[in-house]
Amino acid sequence: MIGYYILIGLIALVSFAVSSKLKSKFEEYSRIHLRNGMSGAEIATQMLHDNGIYDVKVISTPGQLTDHYNPTDKTVNLSEGVYNQRNAAAAAVAAHECGHAVQHATAYSMLQLRSQLVPIVNIASGMSQWLIIGGLILGAAAGLGFGFYIAVAGLIMMAVATAFAFITLPVEYDASNRALAWLKNKNMLSQQEYAGAEDALKWAARTYVVAAIGALASLLYWALQVFGGSRDE
């Protein structure tokens, strides 16, 4: 277990560093005010309409960096700062979330796959580690039947959650690419504003990369505990 805690600690440190950098970047680019004077909400609405989407609502949601697109009720949820502010960071986030709305409208395959996995992952992510630990306690590492099968079931659940984390990567990068392409093609931002928006979205994407690597590392660790211990016997 000590190795696991060291692994989790290292991943947590990297995640903290990336998240801190992301926050500092957004603070930096929040000081770059848009020449067109448009708010995040206005940017989002314009991008939706330019893509022929009129059945998605842009609404304000409490918190910081709580922005997301909800495909169930077709809403682009922008944090209060993004919704009201008129700067490069707000433009980047608003356009990115609309990128997800465009994915939904165009039946982007990776988004569809991710959406299908959501209910499974909601269950699997909460149970997987407990099943693995319970299986190990019952004797999985010694190759004992009942405990081994419980641990393997936990590993399968964890593998699904890990796959979900990696499927999220192309979804997020594609949404950012759509956002940046629209901002550039429609000449929405000046060169400086665009550079800030692009950099902010790159750092946002890196948080998902760290999460995916962390999920994979955790899966490999527990797989070694289950199968490695069994082979040693």
Contacts of 38 (CB under 8 A, 6+ apart): 46, 86, 91, 188
Q: Do 224 and 216 contact (CB within 8 A), yes or no? A: no
Q: How many Cβ atoms from other residues are within 10 Å of residue 32's Cβ? A: 20
State the DSSP code for 31.
T
Q: Do 233 and 143 contact (CB within 8 A), yes or no? A: yes
d(CA 65, CA 79): 6
28 included as an active-site residue: no
Residue tagged active-site, from 42, 80, 97, 198: 97
The alpha carbons of the chain give a radius of gyration, in whole angstroms, of: 21
* Catalytically active residues, by annotation: 97
